[in-house]
């Protein structure tokens, strides 16, 4: 499963997509300094939101639709690699890939577990660095 909003404070935006990049509905994207691409295991900031529709890799740079958080407190559901527990609420984690959070890694602290829902899924929020790196 992919990510989806858990709170109501998300808005739809139309943004450009990068040529020769595959986007899958439900994946998180970020701006890597050159364009909007799926998040990676080393993503820390510039996270934009959740891709609404899948796009094949092509030379096209047509715009795509993304659900973007409107608040630092906007939450989303995400699958987890590893096993979550209730006592992990408030802990920070990295992305495992564009569609899931890595419960065993917290080098870049991209997201915070807001609420435990099951051992394989949680409600998260993005961590914003506001120009201050960890």
Integer Rg of the chain from CA: 14
* Span 19-24, average pLDDT: 91
- By residue count, the chain amounts to 134
Q: What is the pTM of this model?
A: 0.91
Task: Answer whether 110's CB lies under 8 Å from 126's CB.
Answer: yes
User: Could you tell me the domains of the chain?
Assistant: 10-69 (2.40.300.10), 75-126 (no CATH)
List pLDDT tens digits, range 73-130: 999 999 999 999 999 999 999 999 999 999 999 999 999 999 999 999 999 999 987 6
The per-residue pLDDT for 131 is 57
List pLDDT tens digits, range 45-76: 899 999 999 998 877 778 999 999 999 999 99
* Coil/strand/helix, residue 105: coil
Q: Which residues of 76-86 are buried (b: 16+ CB within 10 A; e: fewer)?
A: bbbbbbeebee
**Higher pLDDT pick, 62 / 6:** 6
């Amino acid at each position: 499963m992919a990510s989806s909003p858990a709170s109501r404070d998300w808005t739809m935006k139309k943004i450009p997509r990068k040529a020769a990049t595959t986007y899958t509905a439900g994946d998180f994207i970020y701006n890597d300094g050159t364009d909007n691409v799926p998040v990676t295991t080393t993503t820390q900031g510039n996270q934009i939101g959740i891709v609404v529709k899948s796009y094949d890799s092509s030379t096209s740079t047509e715009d795509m639709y993304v659900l973007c958080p409107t608040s630092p407190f906007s939450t989303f559901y995400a699958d987890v690699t590893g096993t979550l527990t209730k006592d992990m609420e408030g802990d920070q984690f990295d992305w495992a890939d564009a569609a899931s959070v890595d419960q065993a890694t917290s080098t870049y602290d991209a997201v915070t577990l807001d609420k435990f829902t099951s051992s394989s899924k949680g409600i998260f929020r993005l961590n914003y660095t506001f120009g201050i790196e960890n």
